[in-house]
Amino acid sequence: MEGAALVISGDWTLRHYGSLNQLIRGLHGKSPSNPTLDLDCLGHIDTAGASLIAKLAGSTALVQALDSADLAEEQKALLDAVAAAVPEGQFQPPKINPVAGFLADVGQKVTSISRLTWQLSGFIGETLATLFYILPRPGRWRFTPFVAAVHDTGLNALPIVALLTFLVGAVVAFLGATVLEDFGATIYTVNLVAFSFLREFGVLLAAILLAGRTASSFTAQIGAMKVNEELDAIRTLGLNPVELLVVPRVLAMMLSLPVLTFIGMISGMVGGAVVCALVLDIPPSQFMAIVERDIALKHFLVGIGKAPVFAFLIAVIGCLEGFKVAGSAQSVGEHTTSSVVQSIFMVILLDSVAALFFMEMGW
């Protein structure tokens, strides 16, 4: 754009429609009211690009510029036809009411969440139906994938779960000692550590770690199989992908997470006991005596009982996102990220609901 002239150059085709449309929106309010078009530098053009030029400068200015433009006859004919079809008037971006735009965005998010919930519910139903179908039929059990999944989700994850819960237990003990010291009640640091890890931290930390470590792995594995058309080959052979790929992973997670939860509980309490011994002069024997005296068994049962539910949801979400991969490496990455986010969100949401329920029940 120079003075009162618009210089159109380069290729105006459907391939560049998005960037050109964005450029035209940026020129809104800056272009002259009656521009003179210079089309001599115009490269390739199609109907999409011609419509943008007509909307930018107006049909009248476009027709006038064609008389002196150094263009091929087919380009002039295309521009003339588009100018006759496009209404007169320069391009005006639609004005969007901010409130309406906000409500539209909220509606899209709600619709997307509803669609995800519907898909997850359907996939959970399909997984349960397949599981109940093969349980009374030992000949259809697949031990090798199950054992491999247990090794991957359980044994390989044990060191990081133990280390993380040990460190968090030490941190909780430090914080508890700092706060309770003002009240002369540092002895209750033992109760704080044991209560928090038996009910919440043990299962929550283990589930979040598996959501980030294992759900992403399930999504990437199944997504890569879909990209390579291995899922189509499985269906062609008359096999059920849910039975072959999903059920062994779900069962492995439901076995591994309770074990990791128990390890996390013990490691967290050991971390708290170390801090109590080094900082508060509470020996391990006294620590264990307080735990045995004041912490009821129901707290352990509440924590360990949530583990299979969390494991089932994490595995199902990871497998579902793998089946939703669209066939490219970018799609694999997007759905892998989505599976981790959804798994962690569902774990925290269900843990919050369970905490409220158990509090109301007095458990």
pLDDT tens, position by position, 213-234: 899 999 998 988 888 888 889 8
Rounded to whole angstroms, how far apart are CA atoms 166 and 128?
35
Question: Worst-scoring range by mean pLDDT, 108-122, 236-250, 256-270, 318-332?
Answer: 318-332
Percent of residues in the chain assigned helix, strand, coil, to nearest 5: 80, 5, 15
What pLDDT does residue 271 have?
Answer: 93
- pLDDT surpasses 60 at 88: no
Q: What is the mean pLDDT of residues 91-112?
A: 78
The pLDDT mean for the chain works out to 84
Of 347 and 83, the structure prediction assigns the larger pLDDT to 347
pLDDT, position 17: 75
Task: Report the pLDDT value the prediction gives residue 231, as an integer from 0 to 100.
Answer: 87
pLDDT at 90: 47
Looking at residue 28, its pLDDT comes to 59
Percent of the chain exceeding pLDDT 90 equals: 34
Q: Which backbone phi and psi does 40 adopt, to 5 degrees?
A: -65, -25
pLDDT of residue 50: 76
Cβ–Cβ < 8 Å for 189, 276: yes
- Output the six-digit token pair for 70: 């150094």
CA distance 314 to 19: 40
pLDDT of residue 301: 92
* 201, 264 contact by CB (below 8 A): yes
pTM: 0.71
Domain regions of the chain by residue span: 5-85, 117-361
Query: What is the C-alpha to C-alpha distance for residues 37 and 68, in angstroms, rounded to an integer?
Result: 10
Q: Between helices 216-227 and 297-323, what is the axis angle to 10°?
A: 20
What's the DSSP call for residue 214? I
Instruction: Tell me the CA distances in angstroms from 134 to 3, 236, 242, one per residue in order.
Output: 77, 20, 11
User: Residue 359's pLDDT is what?
Assistant: 85
Burial readout 191-209 (b: 16 or more C-beta within 10 A, e: otherwise): bbbbbbbbbbbbbbbbbbb
pLDDT band at 87 (very low <50, low <70, confident <90, very high): low
Distance of CA 321 to the CA centre of its chain: 9
pLDDT of res. 204: 93
Which residues have a Cβ under 8 Å from the Cβ of 345 and sit 6 or more positions away? none
Q: What is the mean pLDDT of residues 261-279?
A: 92
pLDDT category of residue 4 using cuts at 50, 70 and 90: low
Closest CA to 244 of 155, 338, 168, 131: 131
Mean pLDDT computed over 273-287: 89
Q: Which residue has the tokens 């380069």?
A: 10
Q: In degrees rounded to 5, what are phi and psi of residue 36?
A: -105, 125
Does the structure show a pLDDT above 90 at 269?
yes
Name the nearest CA neighbour of 212 among 265, 261, 157.
Answer: 157
Length of the chain: 363
Position with higher pLDDT, 255 vs 74 = 255
Taking the C-alpha atoms of residue 98 and residue 142, their distance in angstroms, rounded to an integer, is: 56
Report yes or no: 192 and 176 within 8 Å, Cβ to Cβ: yes
Question: Taking 90 as the threshold, does the pLDDT of residue 282 lie above it?
Answer: no
User: According to the model, what pLDDT value does residue 29 have?
Assistant: 54
Q: List, in order, residues 6 or more apart from 196 with CB less than 8 Å away.
A: 172, 268
Q: Residue 1: what pLDDT?
A: 43
Q: Long-range pairs for 117-120 at CB < 8 Å and ≥24 separation?
A: 119/320, 119/324, 120/316, 120/317, 120/320
Quick one: pLDDT at residue 24? 72
Residue 41 has pLDDT above 90, yes or no: no
Which of the listed ranges 55-64, 97-106, 316-325 does the model predict with the highest average pLDDT? 316-325
pLDDT for res 205 = 93
Residue 265 has pLDDT above 50, yes or no: yes
Q: How far apart are CA 117 and CA 325, in angstroms?
A: 17
